[in-house]
Each structure stands twice: as C-alpha cells, then as structure tokens.
C-alpha cells in the first residue's frame, strides 16, 4: 500500500499549522516554504481541508489558516480522508461483493489485504495532530535495525 503525496502533504501541512499557529492565522506560503511543498498544490489541499471542516480561513492582512478544532481533536485519518485519499490495501472497492479479478472473483489474499487496510485506518484514527506535534506517536520508526546507538546518555557511577 502506498500513500500518495496528497495524503502525506496534507498531514505534513496540518502538523506544521498545528505547531506554528498558536492561535494566529498562518499563511500557506509560509507552510509551503517550511515543508518544501508547492504553494499551488497546498492551495488545492487546503480547499479540500476547509470543505472537510478541518481548517478555517482568515482573510485580509495577517490572514491565513487556522485549525477548525483543537489539535488533540483532529485525527490523522480525518485529514487523509478530507483530501480524498483512500485508506485501503485492496484493489477492490471496500465492501463490494465483486472482486478485482477478471472473473469478478476475489483473490485468495483479499481478506488479508482488507484487514490490513482496516488496521491502518484504526491506527491513523488513533493518532491526533497533537500526538504528532509532541512526538508521541507509538512505534519504532526512530529505532534503526541493528544500530548500536544508545537511546540515552550512559550513566556514570559516582566515585
């Protein structure tokens, strides 16, 4: 399963907005520069996020975007779904009795991939913007396989 740039960039921009706004509108140009995302692409994404009720715009001098809800109430899955990014791992339409094979049957691994999609959705629904901003995302993504890097400074015995 691959998440397109639409979903990834929307989440990146929303995390940036959550971490920098502090109650003040943030210009999309500033987010675009910090996150190295095309401004015109961000404008398209934020139009969808606004229609989805996740952000609100402020016009005029000093205008920009604000979160529509507190960061601890905005789930990552909501962001991805607002920009029309499907969260699924099968080629079949979710819940469809028709499979993706030429004879309309489901493949032997359909249930495996459908459950994977369900687990991804559950996980992304359990993580909020506040979790990402405060780096409280569970997992081992920061741990390098086989690396000998210490997680904390070693303790030195008092002499």
pLDDT tens string 111-153: 888 888 888 889 999 999 999 999 888 665 555 444 444 444 4
* Rounded Cα distance, 80 and 75, in Å: 9
The 10 Å CB-count burial string (b at 16+, else e) for 105-122 is ebeeebeebbeebeebbe
Q: Which pLDDT value is given to residue 147?
A: 46
- Residue 15: which CATH number? 1.10.10.10
**H-type helices in the chain, by residue range?**
5-20, 28-35, 39-51, 76-82, 110-126, 129-133
- Can you read off the two tokens belonging to residue 136? 């409280």
Residue 151 is predicted with a pLDDT of: 44
In a domain, 153, yes or no: no
Rounded Cα–Cα distance for residues 103 and 111 (Å)? 18
pLDDT (0 to 100) of residue 72:
95
If one counts the domains in the chain, the total is: 1
* Residue 13 located in a structural domain: yes
Q: What pLDDT score does 121 carry?
A: 87
Which residues constitute the domain of residue 40?
A: 5-87+128-133
What mean pLDDT is predicted for residues 59-87?
91
Instruction: Indicate the pLDDT class of residue 159, thresholds 50, 70 and 90.
Output: very low
Q: Does a structural domain hold residue 31?
A: yes
Instruction: Give CA–CA dist 80/129, Å, rounded.
Output: 12
Indicate whether 25 belongs to any domain. yes
Q: Residue 107 has what pLDDT?
A: 78
Residue 98 belongs to a domain: no
> Is residue 100 included in any domain, yes or no?
no
Q: Which residues, in sequence order, are bridge partners of residue 75?
A: 128
Query: What is the pLDDT of the chain when averaged over all its residues?
Result: 83
CA–CA gap between residue 60 and residue 37 (Å, rounded) = 23
User: Residue 19 domain-assigned?
Assistant: yes
Is residue 81 in a domain? yes
Distance CA 125, CA 34 (A): 26
């Amino acid at each position: 399963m691959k998440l397109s740039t639409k979903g990834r960039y929307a989440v990146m921009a929303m995390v940036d907005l959550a971490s920098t706004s502090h109650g003040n509108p943030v210009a999309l140009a500033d987010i675009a520069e910090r996150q190295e995302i095309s401004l015109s692409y961000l404008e398209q994404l934020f139009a969808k996020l606004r229609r989805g009720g996740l952000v609100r715009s402020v016009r005029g001098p000093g205008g920009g975007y604000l979160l529509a809800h507190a960061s601890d109430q905005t789930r990552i899955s909501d962001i991805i779904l607002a920009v029309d990014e499907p969260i699924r791992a099968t080629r079949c339409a979710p819940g469809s009795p028709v499979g993706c094979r030429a004879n309309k049957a489901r493949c032997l691994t359909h249930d495996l991939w459908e459950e994977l999609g369900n687990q991804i959705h559950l996980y992304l629904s359990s993580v909020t913007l506040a979790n990402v901003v405060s780096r409280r995302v569970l997992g081992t993504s920061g741990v390098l396989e086989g690396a000998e890097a210490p997680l904390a400074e070693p303790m030195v015995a008092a002499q």
